[in-house]
Amino acid sequence: MIDIIASIIDGLLVGGVYGLAAMGLTLIWGVMNVINLTHGAMIVLGMFALYFLVTALGLPPYGTVPVTIAVGFVFGVLVYWIAVHRVIGRAHLMSLLSTFAMNMVLVGLGTALFSTSPFNVPVALPGVTWEGYTFTGTHIMAAILALVIAGLLYLLLHKTRIGKAIRAVADNREAAELNGIPTTQVLSFAFGLGAALACVSGTLIATLFPFTVLSGGSYELKSFVVTVLGGLGNPTGALLGGIALGLIEGGTTPFIPVSWIPVIEFLLFIAALLLFPRGIFAFAKA
């Protein structure tokens, strides 16, 4: 029994970070109906931002979090103006192909610059040992920071003028425009915000595991599962979806071989699409 509880706790800790990554994806979808296929590249940007900020500038690993949020935001705004702005409002395939192409460019650039060798940022934090099972300090810290950032996002969306503008544009862009909201600027801000969330989740993941230029793909896939669980366009649902995914991973691994986890995850993905097309956590929609 203890092993199951330990496994579930581990799953919950990682699930918080999955949730944070998925919040960026779902925010962009919710505001502008764009499936952002540069999401994985943005996660990787956060990983490399951590690596270079720690090695080149000597910043403490968790001190890089505000910087990576800023880097991700600026990068997201740039990607918005280069690859997204002109295809908003057109067929979904257009934005899908546009962000896919942008992703290929970014991955290609990353591969040329850094190869696909693994990078590692060793972060040492004391963990908690319980009945022989150790919950590492980095996992605990990543989960806490993920929750804090998710809370800040909630406050931003609900308590600030720009947040309200984002929600208004997400609800009805034309009506928002008629009310004097500069929707184009709001869209680029929202895209930057989504990228910043992906970027900072990459930073937190890089404190846990080694990474390569190609690491974004697997986390992007997880973000899709989480997004569907939480409901497309629902940031709060994404956080809950991430935690649920971690819980499922943790709760099932004591009973099945770990190589079956992706099978379970994607069966769940299909089931959620068929049975809960608005997401299991649609009730949590802001």
Partner 1 sequence: MGEANALRLAEPDRSGFGHPENLIDIKCDARKARTIKSSRLLATSDTPDPGSWEDAMIVKKLVLIAAAALLTASPALPADDTLTIGFTVSRTGKLNNDSIAQMRGFELWRDELNDKGGISVGGKQYKINFMSYDDESVNARVQQLYTRLINQDKAQFLFSPYSSGLVASAAIVSEQYGRIMLTTGAAEEKTYKLGNKNLFQVYSSADRYLVGAIETVKELNPNARVALVYKDDPFSKAVLQSARKQAGEAGLRTVLDEAYSPETTDFGPVINKIISAKADVLLGGGHYPDGATLARQIYDHKAGLKWLTLLVAPDSPNFATMGDAAIGVTVPSQWEPQVSFKPDFGPAAADFTQRFHAKYGIEPGYHAAGGYTAGLILQRAIEQAGSPEQAKVAAVLNGMDATTMFGRTKFSTDPKEHGLQTGHEMVIAQWQKKSGALFKEVIWPKAARTSDIVY
Residues that bind partner 1 (CB under 8 A): 3, 6-7, 10-11, 14, 50-51, 54-55, 58-62, 111, 114-125, 127, 129, 132-134, 136, 138-139, 207-212, 214-215, 218, 249-250, 253-254, 257-259, 261-262
**CB within 8 A of 126, min separation 6: which ones?**
137
Residue among 78 and 261 whose Cβ is closer to partner 1: 261
Q: Give whole-number Cα distances, 149 to 130, 132, 164, 221, in Å.
A: 28, 31, 18, 21
Report the nearest approach of partner 1 to the CB of residue 193 (Å).
26
Are the beta carbons of 61 and 207 closer than 8 angstroms?
A: yes
Residue among 123 and 170 whose Cβ is closer to partner 1: 123
Residue among 197 and 213 whose Cβ is closer to partner 1: 213
Report the nearest approach of partner 1 to the CB of residue 230 (Å).
20
Report the nearest approach of partner 1 to the CB of residue 284 (Å).
26
Query: What single string gives the DSSP state of each residue in 16-29?
Result: HHHHHHHHHHHHHH
Report the nearest approach of partner 1 to the CB of residue 89 (Å).
36
Q: Give whole-number Cα distances, 128 to 6, 10, 144, 238, in Å.
A: 11, 12, 14, 27
| CA dihedral of residues 225, 135, 146, 206 (deg, nearest 10) | -80
| CA dihedral of residues 82, 84, 85, 89 (deg, nearest 10) | 160
Residue among 48 and 80 whose Cβ is closer to partner 1: 48
Residue among 255 and 274 whose Cβ is closer to partner 1: 255
Report the nearest approach of partner 1 to the CB of residue 102 (Å).
20
